[in-house]
Amino acid sequence: MPSLGSHLARARQAAARLALPEVDADRGAFYLGATAPDIRVITRLDRAVTHFFDLKDFGDQDGVARMFEANPALATPAGLDAATTAFVAGYLTHLVLDETYIGQVYRPSFGARSPRSEDPKANVLDRALQYEMDRRDREDEAAMAEVRAAIEATVPVRGIPFIADEHLAQWLTVSADVAGQAADYSRFRRMMMRHLEGAGYDAATIDTLCEAPDALIREAFGVVSEERIERFWRDATDRMEARVRSYLR
């Protein structure tokens, strides 16, 4: 699924397109919501707890609908304060972006029912693709600095039923740090190591691949073309915008 830099950059684009007062009232809370489903980095809980989506279920799923069914107090902005409303709107962008990626990129190209389902390199290529997508999204340094400043200026919301207040407070710091990461390959080894080891690469090959990521990235784009990724981004942005607008209007 898209990395956190992409979630932040694309949430910012969606906010600009939406131009809604509920989002603009607290952009920091909106951006925090856009990263919060991945808070399991801190909580160590199962992904489904915050994504409302079961990766093992190949039927139709709607994480936003499931979240609101399980947490009806969040389902309408009425009764929520401005920060919580913006946070939930941002949260929707994450769920929609992940689900669009799963359906349009991961499952058909790298997943259990894809032509590469038996290839141990499948997840390696998927992660390399995600890294490069994220790196490119970070190239607009002014935009990412704006996102980081907004996150640092907000106060973490409280009372989200499925996220402990103290975890969300910690996550604000994590999200601000993520927004400030450079558009380079300095984190490539850390992101890829577990997947490369799982695919059976020896230490020397891992060193070579991590020191020169271009080879893996080119191979990943050989599986999923640049044009296809652009179509994915357009569709995902349209879906995020529509879902947030529906929630707020």
- Residues with Cβ within 8 Å of 144's Cβ and at least 6 positions away in sequence, in order, are 5, 8, 9, 138, 179, 180
- pLDDT confidence tier of residue 232, bands split at 50, 70 and 90: very high
DSSP code for 2? -
User: Residue 71 has what pLDDT?
Assistant: 97
CB 140 within 8 A of CB 9: yes
Q: What is the overall mean pLDDT for the chain?
A: 96
* 4-35 pLDDT tens trace: 999 999 999 999 999 999 999 999 999 999 99
Q: How far apart are CA 203 and CA 181, in angstroms?
A: 27
- Residues with Cβ within 8 Å of 204's Cβ and at least 6 positions away in sequence, in order, are none
Q: How far apart are CA 36 and CA 87, in angstroms?
A: 9
If one counts every other C-beta atom within 10 angstroms of the C-beta of residue 46, the result is 10
Q: What stretch of H or E contains 168?
A: helix 165-179
The ranges assigned to domains in the chain are 4-248
User: Residue 66 has what pLDDT?
Assistant: 97
CB 200 within 8 A of CB 124: no
CB 10 within 8 A of CB 2: yes
- Residues with Cβ within 8 Å of 193's Cβ and at least 6 positions away in sequence, in order, are 206, 210
Using the structure block, give the residue that is written with the tokens 């769920």. Answer: 95
Question: Of 113, 92, 91, which is closest to residue 102 (Cα–Cα)?
Answer: 113
User: Residue 31 has what pLDDT?
Assistant: 98
Q: How far apart are CA 12 and CA 97, in angstroms?
A: 13
Q: What are 217's two structure tokens?
A: 């990235």
- Torsion, Cα 116 117 120 124, to 10 degrees, reads 70
Q: How far apart are CA 134 and CA 132, in angstroms?
A: 5
- pLDDT confidence tier of residue 177, bands split at 50, 70 and 90: very high
DSSP code for 187? T
pTM for the structure as a whole: 0.96
Q: How far apart are CA 79 and CA 168, in angstroms?
A: 21
User: Residue 194 has what pLDDT?
Assistant: 93
pLDDT-above-90 percentage for the chain: 97
